[in-house]
Structure 1
């Protein structure tokens, strides 16, 4: 009997051109979480069995890149823009095999571009930028990590103010925590403190007690670093 592999093929349909294709996913039994960073970045063993690597779907026929977080709805005119900016310039290429980290970064950048053209929710774009920051961290590229964290902060700020996260799996408390932690990591301690305080204020109203405890820990660290 053949040994079961970590990766398997999942059938997909492109929501842009309706082309059917397969993409790789990782079987859950092969996903081993080692630890999670303070900005919720997961580390897996072995590193290549990282579900983040296969979060993105790239249509090999038209180049439209998306994830399960995307809405199936295309606002008026956006399909035409994507056709012009992405599909008409696409050289048929597949990301449906095992991906290197360079492949993964490329898929996320393609998806952020498509999400922007499609006018996807801010909360979706924020998640893409944050994952790009994580990927560059794993490569030791702090300059690009900081760049994408700042882009994530902007999008998380937009989703918080517009509340377009409602109806998604991302809660207000989680958004506030990530705003705080990403701000802390990019050196904006004042904004970090504000966001952590807002998380702590919601401790009696949220079921995500772990997020509240993490916010308290970060807030203590900020106070200690200030010597107060």
Structure 2
């Protein structure tokens, strides 16, 4: 149906077809999509000067210009999908001199003891490489894994390692490789392990998540890993805890209901499989009786 026909029939309330002929239902949205296609991702980037807190040398880091990206949607574990350019690709700083790497929000949060660990465990083996003027998915994964390697050697907080693992899982979610789904689950599992420790040992908030948000995320990661009983337990805690926002409770109820639907479907499939199996047994028994009768007549039994 053309846009000028959508509003037909409103003549009696004052709106003639001729007055609405130039009105487009999704004009702004279409224009935004076309503009995004025309925009070169590299035009949304600039080189930022960074001073490494470990080796104290200066290096250039690609960064996004303010308001240069547009959100498309948000997954239930807080992964945001973007149009034109993906900010996650530029979320890790890597010092090209010593190899120190971290999420940009954590880059300067390093102690003297941790610096020594970077120098002895990372810098002695690190081989600098030249990155292109625009990062792709494989480069983003490489940089996140460098950050995770550093975080492991310097014994960063569990929440830090968990967040890096979560973002690596998100990157594999974007991948179309054959083993990407398996790798996503592997890093979700590592992320879940770290966030469980963080909730028990660390002060909140962590990465802008308060206790309730982290409880929800732990439940959601369990759901995605098909640990349904554990997920339901966490979701129940979020829903019944006083002080949790209405929006978070609604989101939690939605994810809880997804689990219930999944379990109902699984139970229905099991029952159907059991019925088919029972029918096969009955059919085999009838066949055996028929064959026995045939051979009895043949051999005079």
TM over 0.5: yes
- Structure 1's consecutive aligned runs of 4 or more residues displaced over 4 angstroms after TM superposition are none
Corresponding pairs, count: 222
| Distance change in 2, residues 1:98/1:142 (3 Å) | same
Residue 219 of structure 1 corresponds to 256
Would the aligned equivalents of 2:101 and 2:107 in 1 still touch at CA under 8 Å?
Answer: no
Q: Does 1:81 align with 2:117?
A: yes
Which consecutive residues of structure 1, in runs of 5 or more, have no partner in the other structure? none
The match for 2:52 among 11, 14, 21 is: 14
| Distance change in 2, residues 1:210/1:10 (3 Å) | farther
- How far residue 124 of structure 1 moved from its aligned partner, in angstroms, is 1.6
- How far residue 224 of structure 1 moved from its aligned partner, in angstroms, is 2.7
Distance in 2, Cα, partners of 1:167 & 1:187: 25
Which consecutive residues of structure 2, in runs of 5 or more, have no partner in the other structure? 1-39, 268-301
More helix by share: 2
TM-score, normalising length: structure 1: 0.88
Distance in 2, Cα, partners of 1:9 & 1:51: 14
- How far residue 72 of structure 1 moved from its aligned partner, in angstroms, is 3.8
Q: Does 1:188 align with 2:210?
A: no
RMSD between aligned residues = 2.2
Distance in 2, Cα, partners of 1:93 & 1:182: 34
Residue 101 of structure 1 corresponds to 137
1:47-126 maps to which residues of 2 (within 5 A)? 49-70=85-106, 72-75=108-111, 77-95=113-131, 97-126=133-162
Distance in 1, Cα, partners of 2:112 & 2:65: 37
Residue 210 of structure 1 corresponds to 247
Identify which of structures 1 and 2 has the higher relative contact order when contacts are C-alpha pairs closer than 8 Å and 6+ apart.
1
> Which deviates more from structure 2 when the two are superposed, residues 157-166 or residues 49-58?
157-166
| Distance change in 2, residues 1:205/1:70 (3 Å) | same
Would the aligned equivalents of 2:54 and 2:115 in 1 still touch at CA under 8 Å?
Answer: yes
| Distance change in 2, residues 1:43/1:52 (3 Å) | same
